[in-house]
Amino acid sequence: MVVRTDGRPLRYPDGRPVLFAADSIALSSDGAWLYWKPLTGTTLYRIRTAALECGGPAGHDLGSQVQPYGRVGPTDGLWIARGTDTLYVSAIEDNAVKARNLSEGPAGDLRTVAQDPRLRWPDTFSEGPDGALYVTSSRIQDSAFFRRDAPPALPTRLWRLPRPRD
């Protein structure tokens, strides 16, 4: 999959396409499901945590227990709000944070929670004690990895999003 930022494919300065490993991961509020996806993929996956607790990491093949759980665009961060079934995703191609209700199943729709041109490459999430969602904008597409003229350090932002009413 080609990651696009600013309407163009993201490439290294020498023209090679970007390659990222799995990055987005979140645990359901009740601890029953682990959700993840590769940064450059569009499929969200999940597995019951009980399968992981029952010897999965000891070398047993758990592939048959992995469930595709719908599509989302390229993301760097996932977060499931405390006490809810709301999954937040960092929509890196859209300078946005989007959300979907996991209880709607794999076909659930994404809705935009916040979008701003300054929210460049929304990345890591955290939740405050009042339920507010915090997300960093890391500006990866503006870094020296992708732009030869990039400064040695880039200012980043921490965004506070009030918890939407479900």
pLDDT of residue 55: 59
Which tens digits make up the pLDDT trace of 24-49?
Answer: 899 999 999 999 998 888 899 999 99
Which tens digits make up the pLDDT trace of 103-135?
Answer: 999 999 999 999 999 999 999 999 999 889 999
Residues ≥6 apart with Cβ < 8 Å to 95 = 115, 116, 117, 118, 119, 120, 121, 122
Least confident of 52-56, 127-131, 157-161: 52-56
Instruction: Of 94, 97, 46, give the one whose Cα is nearest residue 70.
Output: 46
DSSP state of 148: T
**Strand ranges inside the chain, DSSP E:** 4-5, 8-9, 22-27, 33-38, 43-48, 67-71, 75-80, 86-91, 96-101, 111-115, 122-127, 133-137, 157-161
Q: 71-87 burial string, b = 16+ CB within 10 Å, else e?
A: ebbbbbbbbbbeebbbb
- The pTM assigned to this predicted structure is 0.88
Planar angle of CA 94, 131, 105, nearest 5 degrees = 60
31 in helix, strand or coil? coil
- Report all structural domains of the chain as residue ranges with CATH numbers, in order of start: 4-161 (2.120.10.30)
Residues ≥6 apart with Cβ < 8 Å to 149 = none
| Range 143-163 average pLDDT | 90
pLDDT of residue 20: 75
